[in-house]
Amino acid sequence: MSTPAYTRLDVDERRRQLLELGAELFARHGYEELSMARIAREAGISKALLYHYFPSKQAYFSATLEQAAEELAEVTEPDPSQPPVEQLAASLDAYLGWVERHMGAYDKLIRGVGAVPEVRELVERVREETAARILAGIAPDREPSPMLRAAVRGWLWFMDGAVLDWIEHRDIDRPRLHALLLGTLLGAVTASGEPLG
Amino acid sequence: MSTPAYTRLDVDERRRQLLELGAELFARHGYEELSMARIAREAGISKALLYHYFPSKQAYFSATLEQAAEELAEVTEPDPSQPPVEQLAASLDAYLGWVERHMGAYDKLIRGVGAVPEVRELVERVREETAARILAGIAPDREPSPMLRAAVRGWLWFMDGAVLDWIEHRDIDRPRLHALLLGTLLGAVTASGEPLG
């Protein structure tokens, strides 16, 4: 009656596990270095089974990025029952938590963002969606002014730059980084001349 | 007595002209697309002469980047006879003027920053040097705190993000963008908790 453990894994569950492993492997080794054979070995499955889930390394890599972006969107999803500033503070904290769990991958993605077109598109898409979310919180019932739009977009870059600095030096604790990020957003919105609320 | 005009160009002057042309061509076509033959044709010189100046496309490309970085450092060089905030305001204005003159190249460099290792190193080096300059202005006689360092480094990213937004939309005039950038730096430094001066 018994079958090897790996065959009993639910398809979705195995896919999810393969994507998690992929995020880790790509962060550690880089895209060029990794082969599907190596990935299959690390996953403890046959190459044929790996190809059954993902038709190519490219497809596998894209899927790990998608999964990471979805997870990030989920954990940073704002709670609409809270006031805008608290929503933002909570999402930002969740963002930093996510970065802490995926530090190597985050560092590699953001620094090497132009190297792989998929990564560039993903990072730009995440920034756009995040900007739209923040603008909807700050200026809920109107079209944001160009200055406010530039302030929020610039701030998303600030966040990546400050977070890379945090990862590199590890000499700031997370609550202080959080305060720096939130305070700078407030400074940028103020400098944009846009009234809040 | 007469020789073709191109042979009369001073060696340094021709090198400078070739680097200017290179900056424009690489911005328009991208590294992969351009060949040395094409570059020579656009410059109106022989391929042999081009190779006399630059031993390879790679070397030519690196030299155009170096030239751009030097020009940028020159125009944004602060005037030490001015107070720190005025120095910063003047350098920032010069930076925006430089971006206006090289908009296509700037956009391509910053968005595709990870694609070519030379570009990535150059952008990171320019950011580091600029951060050191700003920190020397803000905290002249002391080691900057980690929070201040992260604030300034983050702000350099803010600047690139806001400038890309400016290039994309062209709906903010330069003085207002300048005010947004300077105001945000003030906000970030304040949020870092570092006393000024």
pLDDT in tens, B112-148: 766 677 788 888 888 999 999 999 888 888 889 999 9
Taking the C-alpha atoms of residue A180 and residue A185, their distance in angstroms, rounded to an integer, is 9
Write down the pLDDT at residue A105.
82
B77 contacts chain A (CB < 8 A)? no
A182 contacts chain B (CB < 8 A)? yes
Q: How far is A14 from chain B (nearest CA, A)?
A: 32
Taking the C-alpha atoms of residue A130 and residue A132, their distance in angstroms, rounded to an integer, is 5
From B120, B157, B183, residue closest to A158, measured CB to CB:
B157
Encoded tokens for A18: 């393969």
ipTM: 0.86
Q: What is the DSSP string of B139-150?
A: STTSPPPHHHHH
Q: How far is A195 from chain B (nearest CA, A)?
A: 14
Q: How far is B12 from chain A (nearest CA, A)?
A: 33
Question: Does position B196 have pLDDT exceeding 70, yes or no?
Answer: no
A190 contacts on B by Cβ (under 8 Å): 183, 187
**Inter-chain residue contact B169 with A159, CB threshold 8 Å:** no
Question: Rounded to the nearest 10 degrees, what angle do helices B117-138 and B103-111 cross at?
Answer: 100
Q: Per-residue b/e over B72-86, b at no fewer than 16 CB within 10 Å?
A: beeebebeeeeebee
Taking the C-alpha atoms of residue B73 and residue B50, their distance in angstroms, rounded to an integer, is 27
Q: How far is A180 from chain B (nearest CA, A)?
A: 5
Taking the C-alpha atoms of residue B46 and residue B49, their distance in angstroms, rounded to an integer, is 5
Contact A179, B191 (CB under 8 A): yes
Contact A20, A60 (CB under 8 A): no
Contact B159, B180 (CB under 8 A): no
B119 contacts on A by Cβ (under 8 Å): 114
Contact B151, A162 (CB under 8 A): yes
A194 contacts on B by Cβ (under 8 Å): none
A61 contacts chain B (CB < 8 A)? no
Q: How far is A50 from chain B (nearest CA, A)?
A: 28
What distances in angstroms separate CA A183 from CA A158, B153, B186, B187, B192, one per listed residue? 12, 15, 11, 7, 8
- Between B111 and A134, the more confident residue is A134
Q: How far is A116 from chain B (nearest CA, A)?
A: 7
3-state SS class at A131: helix
**Inter-chain residue contact A187 with B187, CB threshold 8 Å:** yes
Model confidence, pTM: 0.87
Taking the C-alpha atoms of residue B184 and residue B197, their distance in angstroms, rounded to an integer, is 17
Mean pLDDT of chain B: 88
Instruction: Tell which of B158, B182, B196 to mutate to test the A interface (max A CBs under 10 Å).
Output: B158
Chain A: residue whose CA lies nearest to B167: A150
First to last CA, chain B: 64
Chain B: residue whose CA lies nearest to A147: B172
pLDDT, tens digit (0-9, with 9 covering 90-100), for A78-115 = 888 998 889 999 999 999 999 998 888 888 878 776 66
Q: Which of A157-161, B37-41, B117-121 has the lowest mean pLDDT?
A: B117-121
Predicted confidence band of residue B1 (pLDDT cuts 50, 70, 90): very low
B89 contacts chain A (CB < 8 A)? no
Contact A160, A130 (CB under 8 A): no
DSSP secondary structure code for residue A55 in this structure:
S
A192 contacts on B by Cβ (under 8 Å): 180
Chain A: residue whose CA lies nearest to B149: A165
